[in-house]
Amino acid sequence: MQHPEKLLDLLCQDARLTPAQLAAMTGETEEAVTEAVRAFEKNDTILGYKTVIDWDKTAKESVTALIEVKITPQQGMGFDEIARLIYSHPQVESVYLMSGGFDLTVIITGRSMREVARFVSEQLAPMENVLSTGTHFILKKYKEYGVEYDPSVNDKREVMLAW
C-alpha cells in the first residue's frame, strides 16, 4: 500500500467505510485495503473502533470529568506503572502523561458528580504515589473525536448518513 496514512485517516473519520469504498478513496484494490487493515489490527496500529454517542439524547445519566493528577514516581514504579494502576479502573476512559503543572490527565465517566467525586476521594487520591488531584467537570460537549455536537451540524450529518 502506497499511502497507509491515508487509509488510517479515512478509518478515523468513519470506521464503517467498506473495503470497496476505501479502495475507491485510496486508489488501491479491495484486497490491498483488506490486507492493510488486518495488518494494522494485528500489529496494534488500529487498537479498536469506537462509536460516538450523544448520551444527552438518551435516558442514561452520565457525567464526564477531567482530573489533573500530580504524582511522585518511586523506584521501580515510573509513570507507566502508575498510569496502568489508574486505568485499570473501569470508569477511567483515558489517561495521558502531560507536560506542565501536573503529570497525568485522567478522564472518567460516572453516573453523577457524586460518583466521580467518590472515585477521586476513595480510589485515586489515596494511591501511594498521588500527591494531589484537581477535578474539572465537563459541562457541555461541543466536539469529541472529531464529531461536532452542534444540533445544526447533526441535522446535516443525518442527511449524510442516510446514504
Q: State what percent of residues in the chain have pLDDT above 70.
A: 92
Q: Round to whole Å and give the CA distance between 51 and 16.
A: 10
The radius of gyration computed from the CA coordinates of the chain, to the nearest angstrom, equals: 20
What confidence score (pLDDT) does residue 56 get?
Answer: 83
Q: How many CA atoms lie within 13 A of 163 on its CB side?
A: 7
Q: Round to whole Å and give the CA distance between 160 and 73.
A: 48
Q: Round to whole Å and give the CA distance between 66 and 102.
A: 12
Domains of the chain: 4-42 (1.10.10), 55-137 (3.30.70.920)
Q: Flag whether the pTM goes above 0.85.
A: no
pLDDT higher than 60, residue 15: yes
pLDDT per residue over 36-59, tens digit each? 999 999 999 999 988 888 888 889
Strand partners, 96: 105
What confidence score (pLDDT) does residue 30 get?
Answer: 94
Give Dmax over CA atoms of the chain in angstroms.
56
pLDDT per residue over 101-128, tens digit each? 999 999 999 999 999 999 999 999 999 8
